[in-house]
Amino acid sequence: MTCCSSGIGLAGTERESRCTPTELALSSKVLGGGLRQSTLSVPEMHCASCIRSIERALSAVDGVEVARANLSTRTVVANWRTKKGQAPDLVRTLADIGYSSHLPSSEVDGEDRVQAHLLRALAVAGFCAMNIMLLSVSVWAGADVGTRQAFHMLSAGLALPAILYAGSSFYISAWRALMHGRMNMDVPISVGVLLSFGLSVYDTITNAPQAYFEAGTSLLFVLLGGRLLDHMMRSKAKSAVAGLARLMPRGANVVSHDGSVDYLPLADVQPEMRLLVTAGSRVPTDGIVVEGRSELDGSLVTGESAWRSIDLGSAVRAGEINCGGPFMLTSSVAPEDSLLSEMASMLATAEDGRSHYRRLADRAASLYAPVVHSLSFLAFAGWLYSSGDIHRALTIAIAVLVITCPCALGLAVPMVQVVLARRLFDRGLMATEGSAFERLAEIDTVVFDKTGTITTGDPALLNPDQISEAHLAIAGSMGRLSAHPVSKALWMSQTKLGLEVVAFDDVQEIVGFGLEASIGADIYRLGRRNWAASPVTSPIVNPASSVVLSKNGEPLTDFVFGETVRPGTIGLVQALRSRRIDVQILSGDSRQAVAFIARSVGIERFESELLPGEKVRAITDLQSNGLRVLMVGDGINDAPSLRAAHVSMAPSSASDIGRSAADFVFLDNSLFVVFEAMEAARMAARLVKQNFGLAVVYNALSLPLALAGFVTPLMAAVAMSTSSILVVANALRLAAPVAEKSRDQALRSSQLAEVPT
């Protein structure tokens, strides 16, 4: 096999390799009877006709038995059989009808057990609470003794399923907390519900005039509602993150001794195997090049923006993208021992920046629960001492527990977070962790990675004003025929200016060097200086890469390429400044490249050429000085520091390991969403505090009444529901746009700043 010249690359080949049928087969589930099931993520599916065309196209494929699209998760599930030992090419089929699809990065779990349990519990609690409430209202309206007794009996029977089934998750969680010597919100809830149920049963048997069945069951109903919303929001975000494309290959092309190539799953790849890395795909494991030459983009691995040329004997690392022609390597380690796994183990050992973070609700609970419990115990002791009536004392003690109802507290945080998560989800930001919003509201320092975070992967022409249109037209027309990102950028610049396409007699791509085209007797070359033209020194600003256009060996023009800054970055830096938030860059790239980008976006403090471990240390140093750091990064090398920071974000283009280490993933191409998220999180923190305030005021008003023994079940029910409604209504205020004003300002200033120079 030789790879000195790969013909002309098709325009529009993606940098990410498409999922092949073999890869699809490797990732499929075996259903038995020769039937296999594959799940594909189809992000562009959005309406009824999409559903129909996707299902029809896939069902028509030879071997596919049934295909069912799911619009909520933007996935399609297909059951298929192999035909002639070949898996059907589902991805190609979908591409033919205009939908891009990929294997989800992690298993999109079709069945969410927790959600199903919560929903069932909510249904049971709702049924019980509503019916008991009907009966209770009749009792309060003045039923006679016999009817009252019958109704109380009925209520007791109706309350049983709610208490036993719907409340079970609260008791389990409360028990776990107590076993670990902690307090959480579920402890007072469980104690209140169980005690009030027990006392009400006793009162029913003794034919007392009052029972508290509806209080306990409605409490469960309201809290389960809050919990279900919270869970649904989070699982929606999780499944959206899981639906992002998986960047690491699932297998590798293994070349056997007789030269045949087999695609094997990564788990079967051993050291000392010969692997073929095709153009545009990622290197599956660390190794040494044994045949061919190419250029590798390692930006996602180390943060280096400039490409490395590789030749015989060069070492390559797992995760780098092959931007040139195909080459062969001998694997030095099995994939699970490659650099990737080194990062994974670093992740595991990195001090978790959030392990010691306790959620606000739990902190409130640890204050609230002892106070309420001791108050209710004091009420019990006081009344027992003064009246000697144990039943009366117990009733009042339980009334205290019920009326200081934790529902406002139990709803205060989740409701605000649900509304906040919903809002940010619509802006393309997904939180994978419940307490992430709380931590985001506290930060005072933002640390950015450079490559892939502040910059996108596409090269940008830095010196368009030094280039004549004629030369750009020639270079662009040559570049049109190559898949190399620099060629693409040249072609883009040409189409932007609307220049004529130059026709060549012949164009060929010489991998690792550049393009050669001929018009008549003239030979144009576009590529490395030492290949295209005789060496001439030229001052270069920030050469992420520079190519030269030459005619018969005489250089015509230098094209200097730098990185493209993500839109919204300058506005973001200014907005953060205006909030007195410190901004820094920590990058693995060369000092020159980092300095150039830092200058162009207006960040003064930066460190460069950092190894992953050094990034982590830089962040832990900041945090040990009492700062709260938000880390925004994307690479494999950023994963440990994303974990170490107080809170972290990754763009959706980030490496698999980086995405899973971050608290937030944003889909937006603009970085400004970081600021919007911070503003919204701060507002949410204010609302949570207000909600706690409301709960405290309400308790301060109702407690004396309960202690004095004035609280009837009717009063408790009214007070409980009003407090819950207040808290939820207050949380809904967050749905109103907050960052509008500051966003408009920042956008205006960033537009002024980002005028192309």
Partner 1 sequence: MNALMVLVPLTIAMGAAGLLAFLWSMRAKQYDDLDGAAERILLDDEDGSV
Name the residues that contact partner 1, by CB under 8 A.
47-48, 51-52, 55, 66, 68-73, 110, 116, 119-120, 123-124, 127, 130-131, 134-135, 146-147, 150, 154, 158
Instruction: Give the three-class secondary structure for 547.
Output: strand
Selection from 690, 648, 603 nearest residue 443 by Cα: 648
Q: Which of 89, 449, 656, 663 is catalytic?
A: 449
**Residue 747: is it exposed, middle or buried by C-beta count within 10 angstroms (0-12/13-18/19+)?**
middle
Q: Tell me the closest approach of the beta carbon of residue 227 to partner 1, in angstroms.
A: 17
CA distances from 136 to 149, 159, 211, 238 (A): 11, 12, 9, 42
From the CA atom positions of the chain, what is the Rg in Å?
32
Cα-based angle 438, 439, 445 (whole degrees, multiple of 5): 140
Interatomic CA distance for residues 423 and 305, integer angstroms: 34
Element (H, E) at 291: strand 287-291
**Interaxial angle between packed helices 186-205 and 145-161, expressed in degrees from 0 to 180 and rounded to the nearest 10:** 140
Element (H, E) at 330: strand 327-331
Q: Tell me the closest approach of the beta carbon of residue 238 to partner 1, in angstroms.
A: 16
- Which phi and psi (to 5°) does residue 580 adopt? 60, 40
Interatomic CA distance for residues 443 and 479, integer angstroms: 45
Q: Tell me the closest approach of the beta carbon of residue 72 to partner 1, in angstroms.
A: 4
Selection from 43, 36, 149 nearest residue 82 by Cα: 36
Q: Tell me the closest approach of the beta carbon of residue 25 to partner 1, in angstroms.
A: 23
Q: Tell me the closest approach of the beta carbon of residue 45 to partner 1, in angstroms.
A: 9
Instruction: Give the three-class secondary structure for 383.
Output: helix
Cα-based angle 345, 346, 351 (whole degrees, multiple of 5): 120
Name the strands in the sheet holding 294-297, side by side, starting at the edge strand that comes first in the sequence. Answer: 308-310, 294-297, 321-322
Interatomic CA distance for residues 267 and 255, integer angstroms: 16
* Closest CB to partner 1 among residues 48, 736: 48
Q: Residue 147 contacts by C-beta under 8 Å, 6 or more apart in sequence? A: 138, 139
Cα-based angle 412, 418, 422 (whole degrees, multiple of 5): 150
Long-range contacts of 200-203 (CB under 8 A, 24+ apart): 200/152, 200/155, 200/156, 200/159, 201/156, 203/152, 203/395
Selection from 379, 365, 368, 43 nearest residue 174 by Cα: 365
CB 583 within 8 Å of CB 605: yes
* Closest CB to partner 1 among residues 18, 68: 68
Sign, Cα dihedral of 190, 196, 197, 199: positive
Interatomic CA distance for residues 21 and 251, integer angstroms: 12
Active site residue 262: no
What is the signed CA dihedral for 667, 672, 676, 682, rounded to 10 degrees? 110
Selection from 135, 167, 169 nearest residue 152 by Cα: 135
Amino acid sitting at position 324: G
Give the residue numbers annotated as catalytic, written as ranges. 449
